[in-house]
Amino acid sequence: MSIAPTPVTLRSTFSFYVGDRNAERIRLCAGFADAVVVSGPNGPAVVNTLRAEGWHHPVLFDRAGYRDEPGSIDREAWIAAQLDAGSDRILTPGCWVSAKSADPSFADQIERDANLARSHMATLVIAIDHRWLTQSKRFDDMRATLGVLDVPAALILGDGGDPLRYQGSVDSLVALTTTVSGLSFIRIDHAGIGALAFDAAHAGLGLQASHRHAVPPGTRAAGIPHDRTARVFVPELMDWFTASTIGGWSTTRVSPKCRETCCNGLEIVRFLDARLAPVADLHNRTVLAALAEQILNVPDSTDRRRLFGTMCAQALEKYGSMGNLVNEIRPKSQLVQWATYS
């Protein structure tokens, strides 16, 4: 009897997380990563059109059921649609795990979806309130539950802003990835690369702000008011900045140019031009993929972890005045926490 191969997305790999409206964008993003995560109910149908054209890249489908009313999704139909579209592995529709004082335990909140995962040998998709990471009793409850699951789990972190801005949240993430086998983060920001450095099975990196975490039901995502310029990932600073913010810098602390093949030494401030939005997207895909590959290509896990921590620590040193006091930038809490692992 032959043994089924381990899915690509359970082998210390990364993908880009994209919407289900544009087949060509799915194809483009997949070409830069080990796989692609397609979000939304139409994902399988869109990917089937690509399959019919001979496209065979590994795909995961996030139904994002954690945004819907319980019971509003035909769960069996969702499983069947993924199978038909050749998903690398089957994902449950996704459930939201709340952290209000009167809520049931973590195990009780995920029980229905865990049973569905078991019945189809699927991966259990769980979106969690950030307090499951930052409150010790809740964290212990979650880790104990995930530790005895007999199916793989894929976590999505939830908050109106950055779920990892809270003190201790990065340490909790690391504690999960290093103790829970086969844990994935299928909708996350560049912290997914840190998760990979600390033994996560897979990370789906969001290329737009709304694809980097979940928003709790009834909550609006925080944004940058009055700034619709392109968001650009700056590797030297290990974070995202709007092109408008970058345009105000006048410093040698950070190179104004991108040396990856996407830009060939051109200045990233050019992304202020809205007509270059597709090129800014190409830049983000290229630099994030290069960063992920740099981490994953380090064979020793201790060295891999130290390398990511060192990258973050070196980035911290570049923050401060970007030419004048008006344009001072401060590192986000997430970056400061990752830097402690250098």
**Chain segment 289-330, per-residue pLDDT in tens:** 999 999 999 999 999 999 999 999 999 999 999 987 778 899
- Per-residue pLDDT, 253: 85
The string of pLDDT tens digits covering residues 233-274 is 999 999 999 999 999 998 888 999 999 999 999 999 999 999
Contacts 24+ apart (CB under 8 A), 325-332: 326/248, 327/248, 327/249, 327/250, 329/237, 329/241, 329/245, 331/237, 331/239, 332/162, 332/165, 332/239
- Per-residue pLDDT, 69: 73
The string of pLDDT tens digits covering residues 72-91 is 899 999 999 999 999 999 99
Looking at residue 90, the DSSP 8-state letter turns out to be: -
> Please, which residues bridge with residue 155 across strands?
126, 185
pLDDT band (50, 70, 90) for residue 226: confident
Residue 218 scores a pLDDT above 80: no
The string of pLDDT tens digits covering residues 88-137 is 999 999 999 999 988 999 999 999 999 999 999 999 999 999 999 999 99
Residue 222 scores a pLDDT above 70: no
Q: Could you give all domains of the chain from N- to C-terminal order, each with its CATH number?
A: 8-211 (3.20.20.70), 231-339 (no CATH)
pTM, 2 dp: 0.96
pLDDT band (50, 70, 90) for residue 4: confident
CB 213 within 8 A of CB 163: yes
